[in-house]
A = this chain, B = another copy of it.
């Protein structure tokens, strides 16, 4: 089959509600700064009632990445489950409006579209409480082989490990991707996800995955160490290619014996770190799909991450294609 897409991604289809908060708010509600916590519908509603006025915007980690790939001019497809409701319509609109293919059937008669309540503190850190709603009703039946088999890179979100039906969908997608000779990528998503599913993630990585994205807290959680360098060396031996981000210190890319370090792009003011890792993955995979060097892939990732943390919201607000051109990447 011909390659119709640079990247096809599967993830939890989520609408973000972004509001400003202070550290005291996080403490009052027992929220761990920078982390993602799963909440049920009642807890989500109770927390929302105490939050500041918000802005609603399409989100979801892999959804943000796909928006970034499309913004870079890449051909992108997304698979994920929204409900047939207003926020689900918004999510679907935004995905198609950026030029990504999205045709997963919406859920009718079940829970509402997933919602992530994101409290952004003055330091730009985002703390997320996610009600997964309809997103966890994504099943293996929603995997369209024609899309998976037509993508250069198939990208999976670690968050999906939290739901059993989504894990089966994961396995199906991985099998189809491998069968078609496609590259399989995964993001570890969150250190708590890693804690919850360490064994399954390691097994999946070792047997199936070509490309891993992680940040510092995720990779050290994965290998149960405080030593970042040791963790990076461990992942080097586990997968063909890994890109590990370290916030303002940039990123490290490892492939076999090769190590490439990429500085972070300078940002005037960090407004909201939501989507930083997602956009790094977008830039990196877009570069990879274009056959660029690891250094260029990393620089594209850093550039996309820098754009998204300079404003509220998890998706690019300018054309990343134009931005890359203006920076000569």
Contacts and interface: CB of A to CB of B under 8 A. Distances in A.
Interface residues of A, number: 27
B57 A56 contact: yes
Most buried by B among A58, A86, A113: A86
Contacts of A108: none
A53 interface: yes
Nearest to A17: B90
Contacts of A55: 55-57, 313
Contacts of A49: 93
A86 B82 CA distance: 14
A118 interface: no
B58 A94 contact: no
Interface centre among A52, A53, A57, A58, by most chain B C-beta atoms within 10 angstroms, is A53
Interface in A70-106: 85-87, 90, 93-94, 97-98
Interface string A58-73: 1000000001000000
A96 to B, nearest CB: 8
Contacts of A93: 48-49, 51, 53-54
Given A85-B86, A87-B86, A94 B53 contact: yes
Nearest to A57: B55
Contacts of A152: none
Contacts of A67: 53
Given A85-B86, A86-B85, A112-B86, A56 B56 contact: yes
Nearest to A113: B86
A86 to B, nearest CB: 4
A299 interface: no
12 contacts: A48-B93, A51-B93, A53-B58, A53-B67, A53-B93, A53-B94, A53-B97, A53-B98, A54-B93, A54-B94, A85-B86, A86-B87
